[in-house]
């Protein structure tokens, strides 16, 4: 059975199956959700089910997901780790523009602290590297905030191995968040690097997609044979794939949330996992 916990940054023990809070916003990750009270109930139920790693960003909404988390979960249950991200400007639905200027990132951290009702952010991640701002300048501002006690740990998002190594010359990197799932495996080299350096790998978009996962597809057929859903199979595979992987599926449904959490209980043999892997390579 896959190891159930991970020691984030060497000092925060969290359950590996977390919750991603991007979807508790409006269409296009823009504006408030249709049911804000329902979104709060999902967050509260997640914590009740033992989820203690919740990932968000100030750009979700923008400034919608973070306030909902603060309202729903503050004061936080001991052991709950809130991770957030900054470094993107929103100019409309599904529009995301990187801005890594030091003064902007500093403002974002202070606003996230306010919205989340925290005195220190356990994990703050740079949402995207801004090609117009030297990375050393962006990270220098974050390192200062870390030294001032506003940030506990730092992570990166959608980066290459080379970018991680460059960042590590300025600040300790405890996590990397890249797109990764059963059918999208472009970040294998980054995952291997994270394994070697005990860096958490947080796959966004963790559920398999495409024709293999569609009704009647190979993954769907396999999942039905084992009385689970493709979503549960996808999440269970991630937990099996590497002990540094921390999946963060998101949902606005308590029923779907409970289904996702049960993914941690899925147990397949090595031969069955090999069959799943083979299905994605056809």
Rg, Å, the chain Cα set: 18
Residue 209 has a pLDDT of: 82
The domain limits of the chain are 5-281
Residue 102 has a pLDDT of: 98
Out of 86-100, 122-136, 266-280, pick the least confident: 266-280
Q: Are 136 and 87 in contact (CB under 8 A)?
A: no
Residue 1 pLDDT class (50, 70, 90 cuts): low
Residue 170 has a pLDDT of: 98
Residue 37 has a pLDDT of: 98
76 is annotated as an active-site residue: no
Task: State the number of CA atoms in the 13 A half-sphere of 245 facing the CB.
Answer: 27
- Is residue 282 pLDDT above 80, yes or no? no
Does the pTM surpass 0.85? The reply is yes
DSSP β-bridge partners for residue 227: none
| Residue 59 CA: distances (Å) to CA of 108, 166, 204, 248, 252 | 10, 25, 15, 17, 18
Higher-scoring residue by pLDDT: 250, 213: 250
The phi and psi torsions of 56 (rounded to 5 degrees) equal: -145, -165
* Cα four-point dihedral sign 216, 219, 221, 223: negative
How high is the mean pLDDT of the chain? 96
Please choose, from the candidates 2, 162, 191, 6, the residue with its C-alpha nearest in 3D space to the C-alpha of residue 83: 6
Q: How far is CA 210 from the centre of its chain?
A: 21
Distance CA 83, CA 121 (A): 7
Distance CA 265, CA 144 (A): 41
| Burial status of residue 146 (CB atoms within 10 A of its CB: 0-12, 13-18, 19 or more) | buried
Q: Are 84 and 117 in contact (CB under 8 A)?
A: no
Q: How far is the first Cα of the chain from the last one, in angstroms, to the nearest whole number?
A: 27
Confirm or reject CATH 3.30.450.20 for domain 5-281, answering yes or no: no
DSSP for 74-107 reads PSPPTT-EEEEEE-EE--STT--EE---HHHHHH
- Choosing from 19, 60, 180, 193, the catalytic residue is 60
Tokens linked to 135: 């990375």
């Amino acid at each position: 059975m896959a190891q159930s916990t991970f020691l984030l940054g060497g000092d925060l023990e969290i359950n590996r199956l977390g919750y991603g809070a991007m979807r508790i916003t409006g269409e296009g990750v823009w504006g408030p959700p249709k049911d804000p009270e329902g979104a709060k109930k999902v967050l509260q139920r997640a914590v009740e089910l033992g989820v203690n790693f919740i990932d968000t960003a100030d750009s979700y909404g923008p400034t919608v997901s973070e306030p909902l988390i603060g309202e729903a979960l503050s004061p936080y249950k001991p052991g709950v780790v809130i991770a957030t991200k900054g470094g993107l400007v929103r100019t409309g639905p599904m529009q995301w523009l990187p801005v890594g200027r030091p003064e902007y990132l500093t403002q974002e951290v202070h606003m996230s602290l306010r919205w989340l009702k925290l005195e220190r952010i356990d994990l703050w991640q740079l949402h995207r590297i801004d090609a117009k701002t030297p990375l050393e300048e962006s990270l220098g501002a974050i390192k200062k905030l870390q030294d001032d006690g506003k940030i506990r740990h730092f992570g990166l998002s959608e980066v290459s191995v080379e970018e991680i190594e460059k960042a590590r010359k300025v600040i300790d990197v405890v996590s990397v968040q890249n797109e990764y799932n059963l059918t999208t495996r472009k970040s294998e080299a980054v995952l291997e690097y994270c394994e070697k350096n005990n860096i958490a790998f947080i796959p966004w978009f963790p559920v398999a997609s495409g024709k293999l996962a569609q009704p009647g597809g190979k993954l769907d057929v396999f999942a039905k044979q084992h009385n689970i859903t493709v979503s549960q199979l996808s999440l269970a595979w991630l937990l099996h794939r590497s002990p540094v992987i921390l999946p963060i599926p998101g949902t606005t449904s308590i029923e779907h949330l409970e289904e996702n959490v049960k993914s941690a209980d899925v147990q397949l043999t090595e031969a069955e996992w090999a069959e799943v892997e083979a299905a994605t390579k056809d």
